[in-house]
Chains A and B, each alone.
Chain A
Amino acid sequence: MRENLHRFFRAARGVGVHVSPAESIDAMRAVAQVGVSDRAVLRDALLLTLAKSQDEKLALGDCFDLFFSQPEPRQDQPEANNDDAPQDADRPPSSGAPSDAGEGQSPEGLGPLAQMLLSQDRNTIAAAIASASGAASLSDIRYSTQRGIFSSRILDAMGLQRLRDDLDGLTTTNPAQAERLRAALDALREAVRDTVSQGLALYAREEAENLRNEILRNAPLARIERRQVTEMRALIRQIARRLRERYSKPRKRQRRGHLDVRRTLRRNAAWGGVPFLTAWKRKHRDRPKIVALCDVSGSVAQVSDFFLLLIHSLHEVVDDVRSFAFSSHLIEVSEILESKSPEEAMSEIMSNVGFGSSDYGSSLVDFEKEFMSTLTPQTTVIVLGDARSNNLDPRADILRRISDRSKRLVWLNPEGRLAWGFGDSEMPRYATFCTVVRQCATAHQLERAVSDIVATYQ
């Protein structure tokens, strides 16, 4: 059982439940207390000790059900076995169909696997597959491409070589039995394939997920495929969660400063200045204020979408965000983003201002005219766009005034540095007034950019 529990812990890690050694010890102790006879109680005990949130509970519950449901060998499927199978299989061999074996040839001279297959003892065969899986260390399987190699490893461990020899021998001496054995072998292959697929589902999930996320993190946001959008949104939410965890705590911790002597004395005047009650200074700290201007024209739109999603999922860290979207003119979109689901909000923004040809000059004029007052010396202004203004007046002077009024001006450009300044890109002219200019094409770069911006308020 201990071996099984260990394998279960590995499977649990596979579904994203963090099982540390300490937790596995706890789980072992819990299982020792409740026993393994009652499956429901065992399930509860493992869920209580291992899972740490409701999501993990659900994932782990599914994992438990999958793990403890060994694939039931099918009726017509003869069993295979390896060396540790009982050797009492001297019954007449029977083929695929159950108990239609009437012939009386004794299978002397056949290998253990052949005997097992012909004896059709399902439990023995299941046990044999399980122990062969152990020998082939099935729990190391990581990728779906490894299915073939693990299947053949398991079959080898069960003694496939010997079975082949037996088959060759039987083909000449006893064709009927050989036929049955061949059918049995096919069924065995199928059973092993099922076992491997189950193993893949149990043990490989984490690795596959990591790989997929890693690829996704470094994929250009602008050219993401439609089917990946949902996954990307999930990834952005993960990033937001990480940033929240990193930046929402330290601010509180450092709030308390030195002893406030004046207030302490005043408070304790009644006791003749003996300091019964103490008063402490509070460190003043800017609350993050962010004004985001996002280009939603053409190819930049997708990046803006993810950026807005990220910045608006950071409520705990930055509660004061005002977002503006523009292509040929500029509107405020904060309310749309706050009140609707990301998908709906984005489509509404797009229908209002999206997909026009971008005109940075007139959009900046719009901003200066209506929203310049939103900027304070604590504000970080983030502009997200490729700075391609279709050869219209870039109005860099307005950007200078924005820069003067705010704490920082950060420009995120989805294009690579090499492209800046070529064609109609006004990036070099704008860059003079920006505190930071950085490339922001992938989820990874987006995370780093937002992380740096939030960090300046810590």
Chain B
Amino acid sequence: MADQKASTSIEAVESGLAAQGYIASRQIATAVYLSQQIEKPILVEGPAGVGKTELAKAIAAWRGMKMIRLQCYEGLDEAKALYEWKYAKQLLYTQILKDKLGEVLGGAQTLHAALDQLHDFGDVFFSKEFVEPRPLLQALEQPGGCVLLIDEIDKSDAEFESLLLEILSDFQVTIPELGTVSAITPPTVILTSNSERDLGDALKRRCLHLHIGFPEQRLEERIVESRVPGISQTLRRQMVGFIHEIRSLDLKKLPSVSETIDWARVLVLLQASELDTEIVKDTLNVLLKYETDIEAAAPQVTTFIAKAARSNVFG
């Protein structure tokens, strides 16, 4: 693990993340700073594509730590998230060691004595050797700390949340056969959620709650600038202004930051110098992912371009 830069202030966090190409708003920077200072996980909520997962990646890259990702889905359980006994290995070893066991127990006169001897070897097969660490346990075992990303926690079952509580508050897990495993270095934990269901109060209580919404126009321009350097300033302003207009419509899925970046790339590829109705209509499918949305937005394109251009003059 590389040198761990302690984030001494909120500005340092902001510039650190910016160096990794993640333009953070002040709220985000404050959250990251606080989560380090008071060692609490961050629960990030917000619409899809505003950079929730990206935030975890940026933190990991900035602090030179490994990122361990746990993607949640319905039916995710202990065995896949925390640890699992290597059942096959245990079975194999007992088969191989059969003879050895015979030898060890050979000296015993009675069944009772044999049992006693067996007890002495008791936990051989339930030791660290036979534990298969899954992401959560891996995260605790990183000597240099890491960024643990628990992605889309709202997709998992409610029981899984309870499983996380011990890790989130104390950075430890309890394996019945082995005892409690504590984190060597407490990991930075980021949980993301798309609010598909309400998370439990117990989980929320253990986290800093950060809501990332659609960014303001200035911020979004900076994000595009850092992600798509090839784009001209005029076009950048126009397209971001256009997207902000689109977001005022009542659509099934509003375009978020990731769509903005995609669109910027597309416009650069098409070598557009400024927005016009033709090119917008041709590339609208990059921004909007539903046929009905495209139909709803298409008639407004000309008006929106005009509006974006006007705000450009004053901006």
Binding site for B on A (CB under 8 A): 18, 20, 22-23, 26, 29-30, 33-34, 40-41, 44-45, 47-49, 51-54, 57, 245, 249, 252-253, 274, 276, 316
Contacts and interface: CB of A to CB of B under 8 A. Distances in A.
A218 B26 CA distance: 46
B272 to A, nearest CB: 36
B88 A276 contact: yes
Interface of A is mostly: helix
B210 to A, nearest CB: 6
Contacts of A44: 26-27, 30-31
B204 interface: yes
A33 B88 contact: no
Interface stretch (B32-40, B280-288, B291-299): B32-40
A192 B195 CA distance: 44
Contact count band on B: 20 to 34
Contacts of A57: 209, 211
B34 A52 contact: no
A29 B10 contact: no
B208 A40 contact: no
A53 B209 CA distance: 7
A54 B45 contact: yes
Given A26-B40, A30-B38, A52 B30 contact: no
B37 A51 contact: no
A45 B30 contact: yes
A30 B40 CA distance: 10
B209 A41 contact: no
Contacts of B157: 252
24 contacts: A18-B201, A22-B205, A26-B40, A29-B37, A30-B38, A34-B10, A34-B30, A40-B26, A44-B27, A44-B30, A44-B31, A49-B208, A49-B209, A51-B209, A52-B204, A53-B45, A53-B209, A57-B209, A252-B157, A252-B158, A252-B159, A253-B158, A276-B88, A316-B197
A40 B10 CA distance: 12
Chain A to chain B: the 4 pairs with minimum beta-carbon distance, closest first: A52-B204, A44-B30, A33-B37, A48-B208
Contacts of A252: 157-159
Given A54-B211, A252-B158, A253-B159, A48 B38 contact: no
A48 B210 contact: yes
B197 to A, nearest CB: 8
A35 to B, nearest CB: 11
B38 A33 contact: yes
Interface of B is mostly: helix
Given A34-B10, A44-B31, A52-B205, 16 more contacts: A30-B38, A33-B33, A33-B34, A34-B33, A47-B27, A48-B27, A48-B34, A52-B201, A53-B45, A53-B204, A53-B209, A57-B209, A245-B198, A252-B158, A253-B158, A316-B197
Interface string B190-229: 0000000110010011001111000000000000000000
Nearest to A20: B205
Interface of B: 10, 26-27, 30-31, 33-34, 37-38, 40, 45, 87-88, 91, 157-159, 197-198, 201, 204-205, 208-211
A41 B30 contact: yes
B38 A26 contact: yes
Given A40-B26, A44-B26, A30 B34 contact: yes
A266 B281 CA distance: 57
Contacts of A316: 197
A252 B159 CA distance: 9
Report which residue of B38, B45, B88 has the largest number of chain A beta carbons within 10 angstroms of its beta carbon.
B38
B134 to A, nearest CB: 18
Nearest to B157: A252
Contacts of A49: 34, 208-209
A415 to B, nearest CB: 36
A48 B205 CA distance: 11
Nearest to A29: B38
A427 to B, nearest CB: 39
Contacts of B10: 34, 41
A23 B205 CA distance: 7
A57 B31 CA distance: 14
B157 to A, nearest CB: 6
Contacts of B159: 252-253
Contacts of B31: 44, 48
Contacts of A22: 205
A23 B207 CA distance: 10
A274 B88 CA distance: 10
A44 to B, nearest CB: 4
A372 B239 CA distance: 57
A268 to B, nearest CB: 11
